[in-house]
Amino acid sequence: MPVLAIFTSNAITKKQYDALRPVVKWETEFPLGACVHTCAFDEKNGMHVVDVWASEEELSRFFETRLLPAMKKLGITPPQAKILPLHNANVFAAADRFRAKK
């Protein structure tokens, strides 16, 4: 079942998030089951990530085998997570400009 994953953290900085990207390589070595990844920082620099995954199992596998080890390596505290069953998702043509390229 597809899921919406919402990750939040007041401890992860933009610099730390950007340091994770080349280590985890989610933009060049696409994780199995990953559909959409988005990240934003609020006015207090709190991190908010919203992902869509094909299944909670694939999300868990990615988290345990790639993301968590990279966070430990870089000394980053994992964010709080909320996983919800996905009810609906739409991806529109304007999203193509954000598509990750191998």
SS (H, E, C) the chain: CCEEEEEEECCCCHHHHHHHHHHHCCCCCCCCCEEEEEEEECCCCCEEEEEEECCHHHHHHHHHHHHHHHHHHHCCCCCEEEEEECCCCCCCHHHHHHCCCC
| Tens of each residue's pLDDT in the chain, 102 residues | 999 999 999 999 999 999 999 999 999 999 999 999 999 999 999 999 999 999 999 999 999 999 999 999 999 999 999 999 999 999 999 999 998 887
Among 88, 26, 12, smallest CA distance to 59 is for 26
Taking the domains of the chain in order of start, what are their residue ranges? Answer: 3-88
CATH number of 3-88: 3.30.70.100
Considering the entire predicted model, what is its pTM? 0.93
